[in-house]
């Protein structure tokens, strides 16, 4: 409803799917009509509906999905995070590439030098943004397999490592953040690497003063245990005081 083409969607190509917008973002051309490398009229019309300058549509597209994805992933409904982040990163990269292409339409060194390809910036932006959200470096391989080109591997890796390093310092990955927000049980990370961490044994940190039940426990002793430890929901059951642990006995409510 938010992306209805005749409503707000007309300002940021709301009638296009993620696959179609991604195809436009990584296209080897520019949305600027005054450039010799401009895209086809069909592609340019996607990003000039409601605006004369496609930069506005690209900016609104990124801002809209940035807010909506942040809201959707916190709801108790199934939602993906990889593809939306990939497309959002591509839109941000495309926006930067279009700004540079508009500023230097003939390239920074002129026609004799390397030209500015906004599609390449979109690929780099998609990899960097997705890697920063997921804290994964395998995005570089996915990008290379998707585009079928190795020429972008070096800038993709550089942008990906920088984005990953910055976001790892600021915030855990989106998956770890979701686990903490939803209070799901998980194994905590190990402390900073120390020899003592890897040589510590379970019996050094386990609780020893445990209330337990044996086969010789009388009804009176059992009643006293239940009254004194009403906060416990389960009790270890052992053969006798000298035997090893057998199983837990859970107390019904």
For the chain, the domains span 8-181, 195-250
**Confidence band of 252 (pLDDT split at 50, 70, 90):** low
Q: Where do runs of H (alpha helix) occur along the chain?
A: 18-25, 41-46, 54-72, 82-103, 118-134, 139-147, 153-170, 174-181, 195-199, 202-205, 219-228
Q: How confident is the model over 182-234, as pLDDT tens digits?
A: 777 776 665 565 566 667 777 777 777 778 888 888 888 888 888 888 888 88
Phi, psi (5° rounding) for residue 110?
90, -175
Dist. CA 40–CA 57, nearest whole Å:
17
Cα–Cα distance measured from residue 65 to residue 72, given in angstroms and rounded to the nearest whole number: 10
- With 80 as the cut, is the pLDDT of residue 77 above it? no
The pLDDT of residue 246 is above 50: no
Q: pLDDT tens for residues 111-143? A: 777 778 888 899 999 999 999 998 888 888 888
Average pLDDT over residues 27-49: 78
Q: Please give the structure tokens belonging to residue 175.
A: 């998956």
Instruction: Specify the CATH number of the domain 8-181.
Output: 1.10.3080.10
Q: What percent of the chain has pLDDT over 70?
A: 85
pLDDT, residue 176, reads 84
Higher pLDDT, 49 or 94: 94
The candidate with the shortest Cα–Cα distance to 122, out of 167, 87, 160, 84, is 87
Q: The pTM is what?
A: 0.68
Distance of alpha carbon 118 from alpha carbon 124, whole angstroms: 10
Q: Tell me if residue 231 falls in helix, strand or coil.
A: coil
Instruction: State residue 111's pLDDT score.
Output: 73
Cα–Cα distance measured from residue 136 to residue 81, given in angstroms and rounded to the nearest whole number: 13
In angstroms, the CA 218 to CA 221 distance is 5
Q: Which residues of 18-55 are buried (b: 16+ CB within 10 A; e: fewer)?
A: eeebbebbbbebbbbeebeeebeeebbebbbbebeebb
pLDDT in tens, 78-99: 778 888 899 999 999 999 988 8
């Amino acid at each position: 409803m938010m992306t209805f083409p005749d409503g707000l969607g007309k300002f940021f190509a709301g009638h296009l799917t993620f696959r179609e917008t991604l195809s436009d973002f990584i296209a080897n051309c520019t949305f600027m009509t005054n450039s010799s490398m401009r895209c086809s009229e069909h592609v340019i019309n996607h990003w000039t509906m409601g605006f004369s300058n496609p930069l506005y549509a690209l900016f609104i597209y990124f801002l809209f999905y940035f807010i909506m994805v942040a809201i959707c992933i916190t709801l108790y409904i199934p939602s993906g995070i990889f593809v939306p982040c990939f497309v959002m990163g591509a839109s941000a990269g495309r926006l930067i590439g279009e700004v540079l292409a508009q500023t230097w339409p003939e390239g920074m060194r002129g026609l004799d030098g390397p030209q500015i390809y906004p599609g390449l910036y979109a690929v780099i932006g998609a990899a960097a943004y997705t890697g920063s959200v997921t804290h994964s470096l395998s995005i570089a391989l996915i990008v290379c397999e998707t585009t079928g080109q190795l020429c972008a591997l070096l800038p993709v890796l550089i942008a990906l490592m920088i984005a990953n390093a910055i976001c790892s310092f600021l915030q855990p990955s989106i998956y770890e953040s979701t686990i903490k927000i939803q209070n799901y049980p998980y194994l905590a990370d190990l402390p900073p690497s120390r020899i003592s961490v890897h040589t510590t044994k379970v019996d050094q940190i386990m609780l020893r003063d445990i209330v337990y039940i044996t086969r010789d426990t009388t009804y009176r002793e059992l009643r006293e245990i239940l009254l004194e430890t009403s906060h416990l929901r389960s009790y270890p059951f052992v053969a006798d005081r000298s035997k090893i642990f057998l199983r837990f006995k859970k107390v019904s409510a």
